[in-house]
Structure 1
Amino acid sequence: MNVKAEDIKLSYGAEAILKGVSMEAGNREFVGLIGPNGSGKSTLLKCVYRVLSPDKGAVFLDGKPLKDMNYKTSARSLGVVAQHNYYNFDFSVREVVLMGRSPHKKALERDNAEDYAIVAEALKTVGMAEFADRSFSTLSGGEQQRVILARALAQQTPCLILDEPTNHLDITHQLQLLKIVKKLDATVISAIHDLNIAAMFCDRIYVLKNGEIVAQGTPREILTRELIREIYEVESDIVEDSKGNMHILFY
């Protein structure tokens, strides 16, 4: 799936958060959004997955305007792993992941054997199969994030939106989650704080600062000492390991 945002503008009161942002993710491409806190990464993603409506501009899925789609149709195209996930009711892990099947159901249609098989496979993929009957609220933040990824996998969408998905995860599960996502037959757009994670997994990166795109390109084109100094105001070295992978060392 091709996802395109054109000239997205959004303000909260008098404060402009997004100032005409355009970005595109091609079919099966892993696109990263980086930038300091408050640069507009999460706000842009929320415009893409319809939590926010931009003041100006538009989002297109395979060339079709997102605003012309009903919410169930867009939910069959976009799966979301957000930063924060709260539920007022005491759902089991299995019930949370089953929510990912709702865009594929008719009104009042019951979950069937196929749905349960898809959910079981999704939980197995993220290493949470043994937690299926646990209450979601009793899990750690990292465990909850893996369940939310399983919910997105159960949704079976051609595009996955990740809003800083590794915030609550230890390094083992950060790498595990992103390896799973990287292998999907899907377009991925992710806001990422860790520049080394971005270098490892992204095909292309957009850099946001003060609500504007200031650079875009491959990780090797974008993640330079000069740009990191300009965007984050820190000094760094760019090195390669024995396998040719780039790493960023901060002073």
Structure 2
Amino acid sequence: MEIKTLDVEAYLGGSHILKGLSINANKEEFVGIIGPNGSGKSTLLKCIYRTLKPSTGTIFLDGKNIKDLSVKESSKQMAVVSQHNNYNFDFMVSDMVLMGRSPHKKFIEKDNAEDYKIMKESLEKVGMKDYANRSFSTLSGGEKQRIILARALAQKTQCLILDEPTNHLDIKYQLQFMSTVKKLGITIISAIHDLNIAALYCDKIYALKSGKIVSYGTPKEVLTKELINSLYDIDAKVTEDEETGILNVMYKPNI
């Protein structure tokens, strides 16, 4: 699936948050969105997955204007993992994951054997197969995030939107989470806080500052010490592993 935004602008509370953003994620690409707090990363993603309506501009899913699709139709094509997952009601883990099947169901249609099979497979993919009968509210923040990923996987979509998904995970599960997503072979757009994670998993990166795109390209093209200083006002050293070609960002604290 291809996702494209064209000249997207957004105003929130009288503030001009997004200023004409045009991005493109081709089929099966892993696209990262980086930038400091307040740069517009989450706002852009919310416009794409339809919890916010852009003030102007157009969003396309495989060439179709998202405005011409029902929410249910777009939910069959695009799943979301956000950074905040608090619920007023308690659910079993299995029920949480089965919610991912709702775009494929008719009104009040019951879950069937195929739905339960997909639920179990999704939990296994995120390393949580033994948690199906646990209460969601008893899980740690990191465990909850992995269950939310399983729910997204259960939607069986060709696109996944991630809003800083590894914020609550320790290093092991950050890498496990991102590796699981990378292996899906679908289109991924993710806001990413950790630049080393972005370097490791992204095919290309958009860098945002004050609601505008200030750099775009491969991790090697974007993640330079000059760009990092411009975005975050911090000095950094960027090195490349001779064997793997993977970039490593080392920060230099201003003491």
Provide TM-score, normalisation by structure 1: 0.99
Q: How many angstroms apart in 1 are the aligned matches of 2:13 and 2:74? A: 28
Amino acid of the structure 2 residue aligned with 1:184: L
Q: How many angstroms apart in 1 are the aligned matches of 2:165 and 2:100? A: 17
Runs (4+) of structure 1 moved beyond 3 Å? none
Q: How many angstroms apart in 2 are the aligned matches of 1:13 and 1:176? A: 37
Aligned sequence identity (%): 61
2:145 is the counterpart of 1:142: no
2:55 is the counterpart of 1:55: yes
- Once the two structures are superposed, the pairs formed by residues 145-224 of structure 1 within 5 Å of their partners are 145-224=145-224
Q: How many angstroms apart in 2 are the aligned matches of 1:185 and 1:198? A: 17
Three-state SS of the structure 1 residue aligned to 2:85 is coil
- Quote the offset at 1:152 in angstroms: 0.4
Q: How many angstroms apart in 1 are the aligned matches of 2:185 and 2:104? A: 19
- Quote the offset at 1:40 in angstroms: 0.2
- Quote the offset at 1:130 in angstroms: 0.7
Q: How many angstroms apart in 2 are the aligned matches of 1:13 and 1:238? A: 38
Three-state SS of the structure 2 residue aligned to 1:79 is strand
Amino acid of the structure 2 residue aligned with 1:36: P
Q: Which residue of 2 aligns with 1:248?
A: 249
Structure 2 unaligned regions, length at least 5 = none
Amino acid of the structure 2 residue aligned with 1:61: L
- Once the two structures are superposed, the pairs formed by residues 1-16 of structure 1 within 5 Å of their partners are 1-16=1-16
- Quote the offset at 1:242 in angstroms: 4.8
Q: How many angstroms apart in 2 are the aligned matches of 1:218 and 1:90? A: 42
- Quote the offset at 1:240 in angstroms: 2.3
Aligned residues: 251
- Quote the offset at 1:241 in angstroms: 2.8
Three-state SS of the structure 2 residue aligned to 1:10 is strand
- Quote the offset at 1:13 in angstroms: 3.2
Structure 1 unaligned regions, length at least 5 = none
Amino acid of the structure 2 residue aligned with 1:108: I
Three-state SS of the structure 2 residue aligned to 1:115 is helix
- Once the two structures are superposed, the pairs formed by residues 1-80 of structure 1 within 5 Å of their partners are 1-80=1-80
Amino acid of the structure 1 residue aligned with 2:70: N
- Quote the offset at 1:128 in angstroms: 0.6
- Quote the offset at 1:185 in angstroms: 2.1
Q: How many angstroms apart in 1 are the aligned matches of 2:170 and 2:3? A: 30
Amino acid of the structure 2 residue aligned with 1:125: K
Q: How many angstroms apart in 2 are the aligned matches of 1:73 and 1:240? A: 42
Q: Kindly provide the CA deviation profile for residues 53-111 of structure 1, in whole angstroms up to 9, marking residues without a partner as x.
A: 00100110000000110111000011000010122111000000000000000111100
Three-state SS of the structure 1 residue aligned to 2:87 is coil
Provide TM-score, normalisation by structure 2: 0.97
Q: How many angstroms apart in 2 are the aligned matches of 1:124 and 1:242? A: 35
Alignment RMSD: 0.7
Amino acid of the structure 2 residue aligned with 1:10: A
